[in-house]
Chains A and B, each alone.
Chain A
Amino acid sequence: MYLMAEFADKDSAAAAIEGLKTRGLTAGDLDVFSTEPVEFAPGVLDRPSRMSLVAVAGAATVGVGAVGFVYYTQHSYNLITGGMPTFSFWATGVVFYELAMLGAIAATFLWLLHEGGFLRRDRNAPVPVVEPGSICLRVRCDADLAETGTRLYEAGAVRVEKLK
């Protein structure tokens, strides 16, 4: 069961979020919808991210994989070079750099899809149609609907709806 509350400004939305958190709701139960990004003060509705770490991991994986691939290709070519090296560290360094960056970029994009919820969207969760300038707070709660609704109004909601 969901409650949908509409707010005219971000301060009242933040007050509602703080109030709901004191009632035991977590950030996972709350979603804010808006047509433009809404920046709350730190601690109101933080969304911890591992995107930087994932980008570094992507860079390391693809970069090292690329160097391995280049090394394998150059050494698997059965040319008699009279003992001269076929693998060049410096020349491969540029390939490593570029492909490491490619790995970081691809990992960032894929993690955006994951972290933004594009890949694991709950089809049953209702999505509000937000008018420009307003802020909608979606609350997942299974009990105390009336009490939660009252709290939302007290915080400054202009409208509260019950949605299944």
Chain B
Amino acid sequence: MAAAVTIPSDRIRADLWRPLSGAGSWYVAAVVVTGLLVAWGLFAWGYQIHTGIGVVGKRRPVMWSFYITNFVFWIGISHAGTLISAILRLTHAGWRRPVTRAAEAITVFALMIGGLFPLIHLGRVGIFYYLIPYPNERMLWPNFRSPLVWDLTAIFTYITGSVIYLYLPLLPDLADLARHSTGPHRTIYRLLSLGWTGSDREWHALERAQKLMAGMILAVAVSVHTVVSWDFAMAVAPMWHSTIFGPYFVTGAIFSGIAALIVVMAIIRRGMHLEAYLEPVHFDNLAKLLLLMCLLWAYFTTAENLTVWYGNEPSEMVVFGERVRGTYAPLFWAMVILNFVVPFVLLGIRRLRTIHTAVISAVGVLVGMWLERFLIVVPTLARPRLPAAWGTYSPTWVEVSITVATFAAMALLYLIFSKLVPIIAVWEYKHVSDG
């Protein structure tokens, strides 16, 4: 943080507020492109609702496919923010301050997107509430013990906590923005700031709430991806029914979350000219975290696959064989290269660890982790225990369009967010500089 101390207090605000006013040609182009992709995705979803779920590639026996892959992937990405921010806050890591808001915003947007996929997956989205067993006045007797009910409660708790966790440190900045804005902006910022005055009672309450929330959100974040893993592990299906799925999924989620954070930070740094605030040291620290998670991921992947191979249980070996030398082998080995080989080499060798290599590794990890989710979901369903029920899966343009649109939606939400509030908490950053 040494460089941050040299930036005068007034300049910090000016620099961090600059992206809020005006929009360059690159910004407009990005909004238009991502907006069009999102519109295309919405059209595809509308087409699916209007025509029927048969327009997608999922067929018996592969009834969970791209949509559930995306669900697991985006819930994993959501671990970028709140979890990482909470860990760094609780450990008093000073370098976290320029990083946290960018990370927490990823969490909220990723949860919004991920939470949509169970609805898209249903087909008849208009009656999704039939799946909610409580209070069950429709007497449908859904499975009260289904892990899908756990998903609902876990994700609802996580998104509520994440929104509050993102909102709390925004209060001082929103009040400051209200003081320096005019017209409707002023009214909106003032309302959102809840009348923040900067009194010591408010600061004390905010600090306590942030500390408590950091602890709670950590517990919730771990539970959320554990619950998502139990959607699979509770089924007695080959290569799903595993006791390590909980920590394996949590590790993968943090791994992909850090990768998403590195990519977003690099784009913000370049796009908003925040080189003085998002310094090489921030990328270096995140790159080290990514390397650590890469090793943990490799450990879990090895443990998971080695025990299956050594156990040699026929139905599991069928799925294992499909993954490592069958239909899905190219995807499997691409996953290993992107999730382990590339980050291990680029980030493990100190001379090679730069902002560029961190971004390259992170992009690779994002692709690799999407493949991992796909490889968990699809091969097991395509090769059930009964060979007569075996099947294949290939996505249609509808699934591909919706998948691409969600990535565009993430970018679009971020572009909008970056125009509404400073992407780095001004008061937190100044607090570091003064301290």
Contacts and interface: CB of A to CB of B under 8 A. Distances in A.
Contact of A108 (B176, B201, B216): B216
Interface stretch (A18-26, A87-95, A141-149, A155-163): A87-95
Interface in A84-116: 86-88, 91, 94-95, 97-99, 101-102, 104-106, 108-109, 111-113, 115-116
B199 A31 contact: yes
A86 B156 CA distance: 25
B209 A127 contact: no
Contacts of A111: 205, 209
B209 A33 contact: no
19 contacts: A34-B200, A34-B203, A35-B427, A37-B207, A47-B204, A74-B144, A77-B139, A91-B146, A94-B154, A95-B150, A97-B223, A102-B160, A105-B217, A108-B216, A112-B208, A112-B209, A116-B201, A116-B205, A132-B13
B213 interface: yes
Interface of B: 9-10, 13, 133-136, 139, 141, 144-147, 149-150, 153-154, 156-157, 160-161, 164, 168, 172, 176, 179, 194-195, 197-209, 212-213, 216-217, 219-220, 223, 227, 427, 430-431, 434
B335 to A, nearest CB: 29
B134 A35 contact: no
Contacts of A37: 203, 206-207, 427, 431
The 7 closest A-B pairs by CB, nearest first: A116-B205, A91-B145, A98-B153, A32-B200, A112-B209, A102-B157, A37-B203
B256 to A, nearest CB: 22
A52 B220 CA distance: 17
A151 to B, nearest CB: 19
B202 A117 contact: yes
A61 to B, nearest CB: 15
A69 B172 contact: no
A73 B172 contact: no
A49 B204 contact: yes
B153 A36 contact: no
Given A108-B209, A112-B206, A95 B149 contact: yes
B153 A94 contact: yes
A70 B134 contact: yes
Given A36-B434, A37-B207, A73-B133, A102 B156 contact: yes
A77 B136 contact: yes
Contacts of B220: 98, 101, 105
Contact of B176 (A35, A49, A115, A116): A35
A144 to B, nearest CB: 23
Interface residues of A, number: 51
B160 A106 contact: yes
Contacts of A116: 199, 201-202, 204-206
Nearest to B139: A77
Given A35-B427, A69-B135, A116-B202, A105 B153 contact: no
A73 B154 contact: no
A115 B150 contact: no
Contacts of B154: 94, 98
Nearest to A130: B198
Contacts of B202: 116-118
A118 B217 CA distance: 23
A79 interface: yes
A1 interface: no
A86 B133 CA distance: 13
A45 B179 CA distance: 27
B194 A113 contact: yes
Contact of B136 (A32, A73, A97, A104): A73
A108 B213 contact: yes
A51 interface: yes
Contact of B157 (A31, A101, A127, A133): A101
Contacts of A115: 201, 204-205, 208
A32 B200 CA distance: 5
A38 interface: yes
B23 to A, nearest CB: 27
Of residues A32, A45, A113, which shows the largest number of chain B Cβ atoms within 10 Å of its Cβ?
A32
Interface in A60-82: 69-70, 72-74, 76-77, 79
A164 interface: no
A49 B205 contact: yes
